[in-house]
Amino acid sequence: MARAKRRRHGGTIRKLPSGRWQVRVYDDATGKHVSVGTFSSKADANVG
């Protein structure tokens, strides 16, 4: 059975040198990207 694709609502995901995954979003108020947090797996970071 095919796995359903999940769609992120904005933001980017990147892998940090520590091996954790960071989610960043663009903040219109400051004009900068801000971190939402870090996650141990890409799947956890991709939810939302």
What is the residue extent of each domain of the chain?
12-46
Which ranges of 1-48 does DSSP label H, i.e. alpha helix?
42-46
Residues with Cβ within 8 Å of residue 30, at least 6 apart in sequence = none
Give every residue of the chain whose pLDDT is below 50, as ranges.
Answer: 7
CA 25, CA 34: separation in Å to the nearest integer? 6
CA 17, CA 32: separation in Å to the nearest integer? 22
pLDDT of residue 15: 96
Closest by CA to 19, choosing from 36, 6, 45, 9, is 45
pLDDT of residue 48: 60
CA 39, CA 21: separation in Å to the nearest integer? 5
pLDDT of residue 41: 94
